[in-house]
Structures are given as structure tokens and as C-alpha cells.
């Protein structure tokens, strides 16, 4: 695992950075292997240090060894210690140290700036570690596969439990319980369950609403396995035959998803893949009702760059994992979304999600 540190140092050299401060939990875990909830990485050309507190010392030492980090305990003031650690490494007064502008809290930045004035320049960066995290290695893909499989199996167990009278909260709780029972470390994000007219809310939080026969029900959830996440959405009709309109809209969303799954391949941009699905929905007259991007990458975090979206120019590469999740939402009526997780291969994609796609399960 030391190669991650070596690759990151190559990036630092290319960016003309003498060192780097990692505050993001996901980047910290990716580079150092440390899974604890608190700690900062201080990475220079020569040394890589994880500063953490008493609670995590033994765990951190064990987890980071293979990644090439040494662990140091910080006194109560973490950010004062980070500054001290950098001071010892930035002789000369001209070195540039990078930090994550989207993760370093302003007051911690101020502490560093006061302490390091005249010693080094703090340089804001964005997405530097993410450049390494985009392409998943075999070990990472195995974890994602397992997380996806857990979610598929939890969904299969949940289907017979989807009955009129159950509340959205109960359904979310059952789904999360099944995932835990099947080996998940936790839920990838708070489970979305939205039924009836509420299914028009793309991110409807589960409520006490009781499911009624004939309701659309959208569940969007995922599992965590070895730190890696799955993401999954299905819409079904509960306790009745689908109406013609429900079926027509479902078929449209499915057709849009299939167009993207069949067409996406390395060399295309995220924007082009988004268009494959969006054009199908727009041609049917529902373009204004698909108001979010087609998909996003995921891994240690549920939403990672790059995306499949109107504005994403990133070129698809083998080894990058994406969700493909078109949806149509009609306020007051309901909504439909279907989401799979895929990995880009040499010639197209492999769909990791195995759950059937049927409006009437």
C-alpha cells in the first residue's frame, strides 16, 4: 500500500508542493489506511506522519504501517501540533504546502497561518487526492462488489415486506437491518424511502406516512463494506397492479437507463453519457422532470468525482465506478428512479448491480 504515498508524492512534485496537509477523513483513510474518526496527515517529501489522539494510537500504528506512515500522538491542541510538525520540515521559508480548500476548516487554517507565517506558503488545492482515488484497484473493486451484493440481497429480502400499512420509516429500518445482518458495516448514507406522491421528491426522507395499495415507492440506499459504498435505487408499485401511466413512465426511465448502460464506454465524457439517457427522457416530453445528473462516482465516499452530468467533461476510463440513475418526477403524482452501480471496462461497462427491474415485484 506504500505505492499510494509514492504516487501522491509524484503529484506533489508535479504541483510544486513541498508538503501536504490532509484533513478529509476519506483522503486520510485512502492514503494512510487509518479508519479512526480523528487525525491529520502531514506529508512531506521525506516523511509521512499521522497525528492522532490517545484513543487511536494502537489502532493507528497497526493500520498505517503498510502505508508508510508513522503515528504521533498530539497534545490536546491538534492544529498547533500540525503547525509544529510542519515547522520542523519547512526550512528556508519559501516552501509551498498544500491543503484541501474544500476540507480545511477556516479556524484551523488561521491557526496554521499564524504559526507558519514566514516559514511556508499555505497553498489551496482541490481534488488532488481524488485524482488517485478515481481509478479503483482490485482490492477496492472487491469491496464495492461486496457492498453492492449486500444491498441486492437486502432488497430481495425487503420485497415481501413491502405491504400497505407499513410506514416509510419502518421500511427504511428493515432495509438497513437486513444490510447489517448481511455483513454491512453501516449504511452508505441515510436511506431514502418515499411513497405515493412523496416519491416525486428525489431525496425524500422517510416519514410516518403509511403505504397505501397502488402507491409508487422509491427506495434509495446503500451499504458500506471495508469502507467502500454501494448505491442503489428501485421504484415499485405496492399492493396493486400498476396503472397505465405508472407503467409507461417506468418503461421510459428504464429505457433511458438502458440507453446509457448500453452506450457508455471509455473515451466518452461524463456529459456525453448523461446525454444518452437525457435524450430519451426529453424526446418523450419529460426533460424538465429529470432535474439531476445521470450519475456520480463513488467509493470511500458516496459522492465522488467525476460525474455523469451536463457539465462534466471528464473522459471515462477503465476502473472508474459510476452510478447510472435516471429519474422522472411529477409533483403531486410521484416519481420513478432506477439506479445501478457500474465499473468502466476496456470496451464498455460491467454492471455490478444484479437486482431485477420490475415495477410490480
List residues binding Mn ion (CB under 5 A): 231, 323
- β strands within 129-282, DSSP E: 186-187, 192-195, 216-221, 223-225, 228-229, 232-237
Residue 97, C-beta contacts closer than 8 angstroms, at least 6 positions apart: 17, 18, 19, 20, 21, 86, 90, 116, 120, 121, 122, 123
- Estimate to the nearest angstrom the gap between the alpha carbon of 131 and the chain centroid: 14
- 3-state DSSP assignment of residue 50: strand
Q: Which residue has the cell 466518452?
A: 268
Residues facing residue 121 across a β-bridge: 96
Q: Measured from the CB of residue 268, what is the shortest distance to Mn ion in angstroms?
A: 20
Residue 61, C-beta contacts closer than 8 angstroms, at least 6 positions apart: 71
Residues facing residue 337 across a β-bridge: 327
Provide the Cα torsion 13, 14, 15, 20; round to 10°. Answer: -30
Q: Is the peptide bond before 180 cis (omega within 30 degrees of 0)?
A: no
C-alpha 306/C-alpha 322 separation (Å) is 8
How many helices and strands in the chain, by DSSP H and E?
A: 10, 19
- Estimate to the nearest angstrom the gap between the alpha carbon of 33 and the chain centroid: 18
Amino acid at each position: 500500500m506504500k505505492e499510494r504515498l509514492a504516487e501522491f508524492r509524484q503529484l506533489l512534485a508535479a504541483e510544486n508542493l513541498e508538503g501536504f496537509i490532509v484533513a478529509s477523513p476519506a483522503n486520510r483513510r485512502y492514503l494512510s489506511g487509518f479508519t479512526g474518526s480523528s487525525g491529520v496527515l502531514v506529508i512531506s517529501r521525506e516523511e509521512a506522519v499521522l497525528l492522532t489522539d490517545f484513543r487511536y494510537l494502537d489502532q493507528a500504528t497497526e493500520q498505517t504501517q503498510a502505508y508508510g506512515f508513522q503515528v504521533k500522538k498530539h497534545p490536546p491542541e491538534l492544529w498547533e501540533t500540525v503547525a509544529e510538525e510542519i515547522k520542523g520540515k519547512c526550512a528556508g521559508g519559501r516552501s509551498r504546502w498544500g491543503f484541501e480548500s474544500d476540507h480545511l476548516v477556516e479556524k484551523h487554517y488561521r491557526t496554521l497561518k499564524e504559526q507558519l507565517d514566514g516559514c511556508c506558503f499555505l497553498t489551496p488545492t482541490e481534488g488532488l487526492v481524488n485524482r488517485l482515488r478515481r481509478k479503483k484497484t482490485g482490492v477496492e473493486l472487491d469491496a464495492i462488489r461486496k457492498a453492492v451484493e449486500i444491498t441486492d440481497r437486502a432488497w430481495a429480502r425487503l420485497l415481501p415486506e413491502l405491504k400497505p400499512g407499513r410506514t416509510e420509516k419502518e421500511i427504511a429500518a428493515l432495509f438497513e437491518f437486513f444490510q447489517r445482518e448481511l455483513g454491512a458495516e453501516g449504511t452508505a448514507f441515510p436511506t431514502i424511502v418515499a411513497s405515493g406522491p412523496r416519491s416525486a421528491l428525489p431525496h425524500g426522507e422517510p416519514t410516518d406516512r403509511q403505504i397505501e395499495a397502488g402507491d409508487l415507492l422509491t427506495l434509495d440506499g446503500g451499504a458500506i463494506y471495508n469502507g467502500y459504498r454501494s448505491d442503489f435505487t428501485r421504484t415499485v408499485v405496492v399492493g396493486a397492479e400498476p396503472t397505465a401511466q405508472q407503467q409507461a413512465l417506468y418503461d421510459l426511465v428504464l429505457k433511458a437507463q438502458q440507453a446509457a448502460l448500453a452506450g457508455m464506454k471509455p473515451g466518452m465524457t461524463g456529459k456525453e453519457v448523461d446525454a444518452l439517457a437525457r435524450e430519451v427522457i426529453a424526446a418523450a416530453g419529460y426533460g424538465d422532470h429529470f432535474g439531476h445528473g445521470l450519475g456520480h462516482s463513488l467509493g470511500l465516499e458516496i459522492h465522488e468525482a467525476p460525474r455523469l452530468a451536463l457539465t462534466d467533461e471528464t473522459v471515462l476510463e477503465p476502473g472508474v465506478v459510476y452510478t447510472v440513475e435516471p429519474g422522472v418526477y411529477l409533483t403531486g403524482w410521484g416519481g420513478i428512479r432506477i439506479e445501478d452501480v457500474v465499473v468502466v471496462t476496456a470496451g464498455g461497462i460491467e454492471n455490478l448491480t444484479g437486482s431485477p427491474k420490475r415495477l410490480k415485484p
